[in-house]
Amino acid sequence: MGINTVENAFITGLNGSGQIVAVGDSGLDGDHGDFTGRLSGVTSVTPGDSSTADLSDGHGTHVACTVLGSGFRSNGGYQGVAPEADLYFQAMEDDDSGALYSYGINSMLNSAYNAGARIHTNSW
């Protein structure tokens, strides 16, 4: 592919400090530990399902950890790209069916923006 050198993103000193990152995905394991003290909000965007738990496959928790996990659960072995950012999580999964609710993207982005997030990830 012509790639001879890969730069380490962590040498920049950027760690997400002072940022709120929004993640829209299945749900979140609120007891995970990698987000302790850094949850700026967790909300369900699924009509009729107020649960924000990650019950079916752990995808939402995995994505959130990849973005801003502190490394707590791995004793510092694995951190997210922005381990000091705060998390605003939007749960999109219906707990009964496991289907992701197709929430209006503009409404979802506006809700996150109003909560202070200027970065939004959608891995669904």
**What residue numbers bound the domain in which 99 lies?**
22-122
Quote the pLDDT of residue 55: 75
Quote the pLDDT of residue 123: 86
**Looking at residue 60, which CATH number applies to its domain?**
3.40.50.200
- The pTM of the full predicted model, rounded to 2 decimals, is 0.86
Quote the pLDDT of residue 5: 65
pLDDT tens, 64-106?
999 999 999 999 899 999 999 999 999 987 666 666 666 678 8
Kindly state whether residue 3 falls inside one of the protein's structural domains. no
Query: Total structural domains in the chain?
Result: 1
Map residue 106 onto helix, strand or coil. Answer: helix
Quote the pLDDT of residue 19: 98
Kindly compute the dihedral angle of the four CA atoms of residues 84, 94, 59, 55, in this order, to the nearest 10 degrees.
90
